[in-house]
Structure 1
Amino acid sequence: MLEVVSIDGKTIRGASTKSDLTSVSPHIITALASEQGLCLGQIKTDDKSNGITAIPELLNTISIENRTITIDAMGCQTEIVETARSNRANYMIAVKGNQGQLYQAIKDTVLLEKPAGTHIQDDCGHDRVEKRTCYVYTDLSHLEDGQRWKDLKTFIAIQKEVFYKATQKTTYETRYYISNLHISASQTNTMIRQHWAIENKLHWVLDVVFEEDYARKRTGNSAENFNLILKMALLLVNKEKTFKKSKNNKRLKALLDREYREKLMFF
Structure 2
Amino acid sequence: MQSAPKKTCQLIVDSGNHYLGALKGNQGNLFKSVQANFVAQQSYSEFTKGHGRVERRVVSLCTTLENIPAWPGLESLIQVESQRHFLKGGRDRWETETRFYIASCIESAESFAQRIRGYWGVENKVHYVRDVTQGEDASRIRMYQLPQIFAVARNFALNLYRSNAFSNMAQAQRFCQFGLDTLKLLFRMK
Which TM bucket (shorter chain)? 0.7 to 0.9
Does the CA contact (< 8 Å) of 2:86 and 2:92 recur in 1? yes
Per-residue deviation, 1:189: 0.9
Amino acid at match of 2:85: F
Return the match for 1:101 from 12, 16, 29: 29
Structure-1 separation of matches of 2:146 and 2:16:
34
Amino acid at match of 2:149: N
Amino acid at match of 2:9: V
Unaligned residue ranges in structure 2 (runs of 5+): none
Does the CA contact (< 8 Å) of 2:129 and 2:169 recur in 1? no
Return the match for 1:258 from 160, 174, 184: 184
Q: Do structure 1's residue 183 and structure 2's residue 107 form an aligned pair?
A: yes
Report what 1:129 is aligned to: 54
Q: Do structure 1's residue 86 and structure 2's residue 14 form an aligned pair?
A: yes
Does the CA contact (< 8 Å) of 1:130 and 1:162 recur in 2? yes
Change (3 A) 1:219 1:150: closer
When normalised by structure 1's length, the TM-score is: 0.60
Structure-2 separation of matches of 1:218 and 1:228:
15
Amino acid at match of 2:34: I
CA offsets 1:43-101 (integer angstroms, 9 cap, x no match): xxxxxxxxx75xxxxxxxxxxxxxxxxxxxxxxx2211101112222111222332232
Report what 1:248 is aligned to: 170
Amino acid at match of 2:182: L
When normalised by structure 2's length, the TM-score is: 0.81
Runs of 4+ in structure 1 off by over 6 angstroms are none
Alignment coverage as a number of residue pairs: 182
Report what 2:75 is aligned to: 153
Structure-2 separation of matches of 1:215 and 1:143:
40
Q: Do structure 1's residue 194 and structure 2's residue 118 form an aligned pair?
A: yes
Amino acid at match of 2:124: N
Return the match for 1:170 from 86, 94, 101: 94
Does the CA contact (< 8 Å) of 2:83 and 2:96 recur in 1? yes
Unaligned residue ranges in structure 1 (runs of 5+): 1-51, 54-76
Structure-1 separation of matches of 2:121 and 2:42:
25
> Larger helix proportion, structure 1 or 2?
2
Structure-2 separation of matches of 1:125 and 1:232:
29
Deviation larger for 92-101 or 247-256: 247-256
